[in-house]
Structure 1
Amino acid sequence: MPEDGNNCSFWDLALFSYIKRCKYSPWIIAISFVGITLIVLLTEGTVQEVVFILYGAPIIYTVLVYDMRRGSLVAVLAAIAVTLGRAPHIAEEIAMGKWDHVIIKGIFIPTFYILFCLGIGKLILNERQLREEYRLLSEELSASAEELAEAYETTTSLFTSTIQALAAAIDAKDPYTRGHSERVTKYALDIARALRLPEEEVQRIFYASILHDIGKIGVSGNVLRKPGKLTQKEYEEVCRHPYVGANIISSIQPLKEVLPLIYHHHECFDGSGYPEGKAGEEIPLGARIIAVADAYDAMTSDRPYRRAFPKEKAIEELKKNSGKQFDPEIVKAFLKVLENSDDQPPVVSTWKVISSDA
């Protein structure tokens, strides 16, 4: 609801706009001017002097509706009308030698008052015009802001869709991990919200989660699909994917802040992970969240060397490795998410897909 000041401003502008458009304005000015002039001509003395003040209304009104030039014309006509109305009295004062009265009351005061009314009209006109210009500028800025917001939303949507398509392409390289990045993203966002993280951090975790395995683009497909134990060289190749992923992301300016999350998502809470062996809170919070989400999805999905774990066994593994591989607080938050979720994530099986491909 608008504040009182803004409300008054609105009505001021509305009234100003109305009188500017009013087709009866010439009649209003003419009738008021003639009416005041008749009163001036039909009265005398103090009453006549007081009635003269009423000329301020048509003078100011003319300035507001038209301009200073026409307002000045009305002011001159008012001065003439008053002079004619007071002509007998002025002649009498001249005859009596009261020149001070003639100059002050007959010339100075009327002139000052007329100029004062013109000044008031000009000030009001300028103030209203400034308000109107401000209102129009505000509307233009508001429209521009809306257009920019729409453009930003479209660009962000396109950017996000491109990232999701890239993640899907990486997942497709290994039939065992189809949809892995999307599921990890879902789990990671659920954890982030359960921890009540700021929306900016949630946004970073979203991008880092969906791109956490982008570095696998540099890992041989044969190594990713190998059913048996990896050789030392193959294991080292897999372990390089956080570094490769971070290197790819480093060239994308809007994703600079998610780089540490991708680079450290395979660190362990006890310092036994890779690539740098960081421990505890040395590991970025987002990376610790992704580590839990990534491990859970890996356990509940088929791999070349084993079938998917049942959900209960995966939860048991999370508990067992809490404080070792995983941050205990994040494990606790994720277990609550799984417990409270109505739609429990299904165990993803790709054995039939692999068999049919073979």
Structure 2
Amino acid sequence: MRIAVLLMATGLATAQNQGITLSNLTPTNYVEVPGHPSQVPLNGFTFEAWVTYDDTTVPVGTGVRWPTICRKNPAQGSSIFHLRANAGGNSATVIRFRITTSAGNRILDWPFASGALLTWTHLAASYDGAMMRIFVNGVDMVSTTHTGVMNDTGGTFRIGAGGATAWHTWNGQIDEVRLWPYARTAAEIQSTLGLELSSVPSGVSTWNLNGNFADSSGPNPGAAVGTVPFASGVQGLIASPSGAVAVGASSNTCVNPVLAGIASLPTVGNPAFGLTASGGPPNAAGLLAISDQAFAGPVVISGVTVWVDVTRPGAQIIPVTNGPFGSLTYPIPLPPNPGLAGFAAFVQWAWADPNCGSAGLTGSNALRITLLP
């Protein structure tokens, strides 16, 4: 039986399509975001941005230069993760992704041809507890192994620079910056390349950079340091709602909340759609509940706050096993049936965990998923 109810259909609109422009010749121009725990996801992450970059105008022979797209904790020697052009002293054409975990530091390089990033290019970097990857326009270009939990040393999250000098400032444009609290696949990244996202729930941050530095999904607004001019951004992007709204909260029985999220948008015909769980116990047995309704209020079952009405006819309770890094994506390819647009379902995760709750169980928040046209 199809588990859905008809809700108001939500349309799409043309995005404002602005971005920021920075120069490696001008010091102290970047976007500073105050530190927040959501900037260091413990169960893996994906960072994304549309960028242009002019390697031909980066000064040569005047010092080591690291034009940076983003960096968490800009203090010297304290980077938690960053994505930058490792130009060095000779304008080398290498994009470098670096992370720091409990197992140490690791770098991953993607070399590119001079001039290749003069036009808008989508770059993404992910870490899932086992692999680091760099994606270019949604294609998995390079990867390497690494392990360990992200090492949170605090600090701010910086967009457009790594340090406070011109040597660390990006040399080009940046648009549509995103931080997801789980590793995304190439197909999931490709499915949202052409969209301007906002109101994505459960720990996702989206900086659209349309004349401001607001986080249109999460708790991480930024502010300009120096002069950060806006200019025309990526053309042709479509502003889209996320199709997902958080319902309730996770059961407060663990140190870290378990969050229900989405790997891509619930668009009719999207084969890459999936439901995500992050923050749960690694390798734990669990359940994914799907129903056409939520309870009128929270119902506590075995110490877990249940939001999804699992007593409804046709409700499904699906056995699942969490991933080794405490996160999981449950794929639900959506068929290309226009008649499904506007239908909705409620979903929630629960995990067995002897360290959580009186009954050894913990639960996520719920989501209301509305299928988009």
TM-score calculated relative to the size of structure 1: 0.22
Greater share of helix residues, 1 or 2?
1
Larger gyration radius, structure 1 or structure 2: 1
Query: Greater relative contact order (Cα 8 A, min sep 6): structure 1 or 2?
Result: 2
State the TM-score, normalized to the length of structure 2. 0.21
Higher strand share: 2
